[in-house]
């Protein structure tokens, strides 16, 4: 699909340097630094109010930073207004111009970039084809479904061959099925065009599925930046552990480089942690349940209180008396575990993270 991104080829490096932004004394962004490699897709993930949208708007030029720099491919764009930055942006709200057809929407930016009429038509048609909407080129926004509108918005953003693609929760207004399809579509198009992309979302599944690297944000800064697998399986902070994926919080005792939880020793992510009481953060998929054998009362024997069917896997809630534990199991195993069943718990000895301060784990 060279035609769409023309001569530009691979994307450019995008650098955010120590960006700070505060509103009326409340700080929204607290010194954010991030470098996106050419053609890379980085997702900023975090709860609402963590500063991820502010970061995106600073890169877009729709808001001004109080300090810090934004650099596209070596060029400092910090002081350029949004319309001079050569960005493509897809918004959370439907943003197609209602008085134009899909084709006219896509061609609008090209016209502003002084592309000739014939070339304009060709590139708009090519870009619509890239997102699979050639058949709907002459429809108005109100004649398109939500997913189609967002795809036209993506085509419109890409048609002007921007240096950076900025996606501001483009999927959150869509229903679940369309969402996952469009998510994969966005990734396919992004890889095809090779454009450097910053993607902002509060949906961890989305971020993990689509990104080359995920930056988990909290209170205006990035807590952890890394490939999805790393962020999920080796969370750097208790906040990341509890925000990305579900986490059981089990009381334990740190001793000799491991944490002892209900009689089981689990290795630590940071073995140098000081000894003493702590809370171990255990993933539901590290918890297994058995019903056979010795089921006399003990620290690891409990009663199933609920089973949630999630498709291929199920989530089982077990009451251990003093605490409830979530276990994620293949549905085939979980189907026997109806409410009231006595089960024995086992913990897979994956390295775990510990928290000492409840507030920090938010």
Partner 1 sequence: MNRARRFRLGVFRVTVFLVMGAFFLIPIGAMVEFSTRGNSLTAPRTLQTWADIIKVPDLVQAITVSLELAAITSVGMLVLLLPTMVWVRLRLPGLTRIIEFICLLPLTVPAIALVVGMVPLYRWIKINVSDSILMLAFAYLVLVLPYTYRTLDAGLASIDLKTLSEAARSLGAGWGTVMLRVVVPNMSGAILNACLLSVALVLGEFTFANLLLYENLQVAILYQSFVSAGTSIAVAVAALLFAFVLLLILSFVGRPRARMARAEEA
Q: Nearest approach, Cβ of 314 to partner 1 (angstroms)? A: 40
Phi then psi for residue 255, to 5 deg, are -155, 125
> Nearest Cα to 162, choosing from 197, 123, 111, 207?
197
Nearer to partner 1, 95 or 314 (CB): 95
Residue 143 CB, nearest approach to partner 1 (Å)? 7
Q: Which residues bind partner 1 (CB under 8 A)?
A: 60-62, 81-84, 86-89, 91, 93-99, 108-109, 112-113, 140, 142-143, 153, 156-157, 160, 166
Q: Which residues neighbour 147 within 8 Å (Cβ) at sequence distance 6 or greater?
A: 174, 178, 181, 182
Closer Cβ to partner 1, 143 or 332, answer by number: 143
> Residue 22 CB, nearest distance to partner 1 (Å)?
18
Q: CB nearer to partner 1: give 156 or 344.
A: 156
* Nearest approach, Cβ of residue 99 and partner 1 (Å): 4
Q: Which is nearer to partner 1, 57 or 249 (CB)?
A: 57
CB 155 within 8 A of CB 162: no
Neighbours of 129 (CB within 10 A): 16
CB of 168 to partner 1, least distance (A): 9
- The residue (of 200 and 279) whose beta carbon lies closer to partner 1 is 200
Can you name the residues that pair with 22 across neighbouring β-strands? Answer: 27
CB of 88 to partner 1, least distance (A): 7
**Burial of 234 from C-beta contacts in 10 A (0-12 / 13-18 / 19+):** middle
Q: How far is residue 198's CA from residue 217's CA, in Å, rounded to a whole number?
A: 14
Closest of 292, 277, 272 to residue 333, by C-alpha: 292
Nearer Cβ to partner 1, position 153 or 259? 153
C-alpha span between 183 and 167 (Å, rounded): 11
Q: Do residues 164 and 88 make contact, with C-beta atoms less than 8 angstroms apart?
A: yes
């Amino acid at each position: 699909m060279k035609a769409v991104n023309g001569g530009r080829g691979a994307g450019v490096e995008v650098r955010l340097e120590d960006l700070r932004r505060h509103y009326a004394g409340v700080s929204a962004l607290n010194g954010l630094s991030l470098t996106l490699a050419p053609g890379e897709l980085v997702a900023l993930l975090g709860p609402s109010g963590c500063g991820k949208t502010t970061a995106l708007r600073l890169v877009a030029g729709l808001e001004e930073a109080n300090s810090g720099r934004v650099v596209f491919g070596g060029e400092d764009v910090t002081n350029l207004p949004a319309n001079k930055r050569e960005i493509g942006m897809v918004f959370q709200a439907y943003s197609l111009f209602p008085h134009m057809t899909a084709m006219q929407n896509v061609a609008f930016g090209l016209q502003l970039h002084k592309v000739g009429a014939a070339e304009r038509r060709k590139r708009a048609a090519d870009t619509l084809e890239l997102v699979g909407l050639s058949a709907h080129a002459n429809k108005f926004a109100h004649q398109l479904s939500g997913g189609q509108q967002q795809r036209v918005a993506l085509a419109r953003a890409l048609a002007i061959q921007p240096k950076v693609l900025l996606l501001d929760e483009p999927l959150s207004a869509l229903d679940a099925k369309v969402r996952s399809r469009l998510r994969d579509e966005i990734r396919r198009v992004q890889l095809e065009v090779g454009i450097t992309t910053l993607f902002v979302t509060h949906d961890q599944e989305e971020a993990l599925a689509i990104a080359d690297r995920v930056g988990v944000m909290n209170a205006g800064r990035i807590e952890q930046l890394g490939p999805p697998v790393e962020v999920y399986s080796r969370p750097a902070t208790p906040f990341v552990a509890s925000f990305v994926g579900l986490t059981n919080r089990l009381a334990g005792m740190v001793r000799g480089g491991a944490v002892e939880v209900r009689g089981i020793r689990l290795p630590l992510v940071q073995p140098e942690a000081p000894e003493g009481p702590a809370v171990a953060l255990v993933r539901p998929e590290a918890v297994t349940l058995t019903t056979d054998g010795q089921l006399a009362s003990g620290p690891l024997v409990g009663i199933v209180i609920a089973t949630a069917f999630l498709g291929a896997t199920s989530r089982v809630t077990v009451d251990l008396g003093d605490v409830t534990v979530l276990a994620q199991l293949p549905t085939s195993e979980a189907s026997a575990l109806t409410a009231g069943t006595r089960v024995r718990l086992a913990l897979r000895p994956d390295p775990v993270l510990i928290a000492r301060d409840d507030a920090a784990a938010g």
